[in-house]
Amino acid sequence: MIRILAVDDEINVLSSLRRLFFELDYDFVDAGSAAEGLETIQNGSGYDVVISDYQMPGMNGIRFLSAVREQQPKALRILLSGQVPSLEIAAAIAFGAVNIHLSKPWDNDELLAVIGRWCSLNR
């Protein structure tokens, strides 16, 4: 079973993702902040996919996904946001903090395809 952690300070985004992954019987966990997401990772048994918003209080999504990379280097790290400067995205991808950037509003089929490809190549 694919384990997914989503981190976003917008409850409606987390609700949409929860519905999507519930229908597919994925193991889905959410967190409302980067700090909560890091705590979840430290207390959990590992995630195949970590999805993060960019603009969150306390720590932005790129910094969060950089920290995730340290703890879960094999996890697919998706930045899901609409308000990120393109140079910052390019740098985060080149550095390896972010594997994929998808803009909000995202396309469910595209998100599922990205996750499916990653998991088939890395399992």
Q: Where are the domains of the chain?
A: 3-122
- Residues 57-83: tens digit of each pLDDT: 999 999 999 999 999 999 999 999 887
Q: Does domain 3-122 have CATH number 3.40.190.10?
A: no
Per-residue confidence band for 117, with pLDDT thresholds at 50, 70 and 90: very high
Share of the chain above pLDDT 70, in %: 99
Residues 6+ apart with CB under 8 A from 112: 20, 24
- CA atoms within 13 Å, Cβ hemisphere of 2: 23
Please state the pTM of the whole predicted model.
Answer: 0.95
**Is residue 20 classed exposed, middle or buried when 0-12, 13-18 and 19+ CB atoms within 10 A define those classes?**
middle
Q: How far apart are the C-alpha atoms of 110 and 96, rounded to whole Å? A: 21
Q: State the Cα torsion 82-83-87-93 to the nearest 10°.
A: -50
Q: Which residue has the tokens 């979840």?
A: 40
Look at residues 24, 39, 16, 29 and name the one whose alpha carbon lies nearest to residue 113. 24
Residues 6+ apart with CB under 8 A from 103: 81, 82
